[in-house]
Amino acid sequence: MVRPLLNALASLSLIAAVTAPAHAAPCRDAKGKFIKCAKSAPAKGVKCKDAKGKFVKCGTPGAKPTK
């Protein structure tokens, strides 16, 4: 009675170990040493306006980000 239960638990744990997502990949610098990973890209949806109040690309000279 105990042996089939242990076999079932062992097989379930193996399946869970294989299908579980891996931890986040560690980040490395140029020399190959492990470092703390940088944050992801800034939040999307930031828009910029020019001096006249019109929406423009954020790389345009004089453009200022809006909230």
Please give the DSSP secondary-structure letter assigned to residue 59.
T
Residue 23's CB is within 10 A of a number of other CB atoms, namely 6
Quick one: which of 62, 33, 58 has its CA closest to 48? 58
Is this model's pTM higher than 0.75 or not? no
Token pair recorded at residue 3 = 């042996």
Element (H, E) at 4: helix 2-19
| More confident call, 5 vs 29 | 29
Provide the pLDDT for residue 52: 93
Domain ranges of the chain: 41-67
